Amino acid sequence: MALQLVHRDKFSIHGKKTYWNLFQEWLIRDSKRVAGLNRQLNNSSSRSSSYELHDFGSAVVSGFEEGIGEYFVKIGIGSPPVDQYMVVDTGSDMTWVQCKPCTQCYNQADPIFDPAGSASFTRISCGSVACGLLDQAGKCGSGQCQYDVTYEDGSYTKGTLALENLKFGSTEVQNVAIGCGHHNLGLFAWASGLLGLGGGVMSLVGQLGSQIGGAFGYCLASPGSGSDGSLVFGRDAGIPTGAIWVPLVRNPLNPSFYYIGLVGLGVGGVRVVVPEEVFQLSEYGDGGAILDTGTAVTRLPVRAYETLREAFVNATIGFPRADSVSLFDTCYDLSGFGTVRVPTVSFFFSNGPELTLPAKNYLIPVDVHGTFCLAFAPSDSGLSIVGNIQQKGIQISYDTVNGLAGFGPNTC
């Protein structure tokens, strides 16, 4: 069973905003996340279940209408389950929800979760294995395990670690360690919390482990497409046949991130000249390339970006140029065109696979007047981040048992 993934342009709680305002808010938040990811990298340089889980999933929605680049999923929390919309994040591990009593909470669309109304809510003690697995180890308060997570953009959540049941569609997942957040602040807009799908042991994927065969996948629908995306768990649903499979690279210093074996870039079917070392993960945990649902715009090391940009500009000489827009320095005025043919952009991976992106995944509108920009940006750090713009519409799968990530063959 698949759960729908929806971009936030399906929802709005702040009134109607202009496309330009949304676009600016989206880029500001995206830049904060990328800066935080780089800081996190620089700073680095549970209970078992006796029941069987079959493949399950949910819908995913987009957040563009609120100026947010992330995607969201609706799940049920507690017994009886209470529906809550959660940010989908492959770049972090902790799953948490805003909880009563709420000392400091931001506004959310759904009623704040009240653990007193759930028969399955169980606080975790300080001496438990789960508490010891928290980053920097959980603190203790009145004999209960306390967590404290700060995100890349400065957002944070603090509260009590607990075991709770989560419901995805008709499938109930029991005894998941989640955060019950009593002190929360950040740019989560109307979401109730975050669903951590990172590669660490405390993520939902890590906790379920063999129950889902170490496999999950998602498809992020394009904002404004009129369709929802999906999030699935389990080997049958999450490991499709016919996908392009690339190696996942493990970084012991940052196990939450899904590093991929990116080795090169292509424009117009021709591989551009960028040394493979530009994308490699060093023995000190620097560099490398990650897949991240929480970052919108793909970032590349300066050398790689400039080479890609030069090749793309040379292949689009006949297109009228437009001024730079925010972090985008390669823009075009296509207002006088009905349709245009643009050169392809591709990722090359170790062991040979090549992923050619749809045009809408790298040349995007930045206003309502026909201005389109190349949706890549340079990064001063050595880290490459493949963001959700480049992932849109492509089924992406993770086989953590065999250390592989898959692209396609299905779309959404």
- Active-site amino acid positions: 89, 292
312 closest CA partner among 261, 359, 368: 359
Find how far residue 93's CA is from the centre of its chain.
11
235/214 Cα distance (integer angstroms): 7
- Identify whether the C-beta of residue 6 lies closer than 8 Å to the C-beta of residue 221: yes
121/102 Cα distance (integer angstroms): 17
142/384 Cα distance (integer angstroms): 43
215/209 Cα distance (integer angstroms): 8
3-state secondary structure of 166: strand
Where is 235: in which H helix or E strand? helix 235-238
End-to-end CA distance of the chain: 15
156/149 Cα distance (integer angstroms): 6
110 closest CA partner among 80, 91, 84: 84
247/234 Cα distance (integer angstroms): 19
Where is 244: in which H helix or E strand? strand 244-249
156/150 Cα distance (integer angstroms): 4
404/191 Cα distance (integer angstroms): 30
| Residue where the block lists tokens 């009590």 | 160
DSSP character for 27? H
- The CA radius of gyration of the chain, in Å to the nearest whole number, is 21
332/324 Cα distance (integer angstroms): 9
Angstrom CA distances, 360 to 100, 114, 220, 223, 367, stand at 42, 42, 13, 11, 15
217/212 Cα distance (integer angstroms): 11
187 closest CA partner among 57, 345, 14, 369: 14
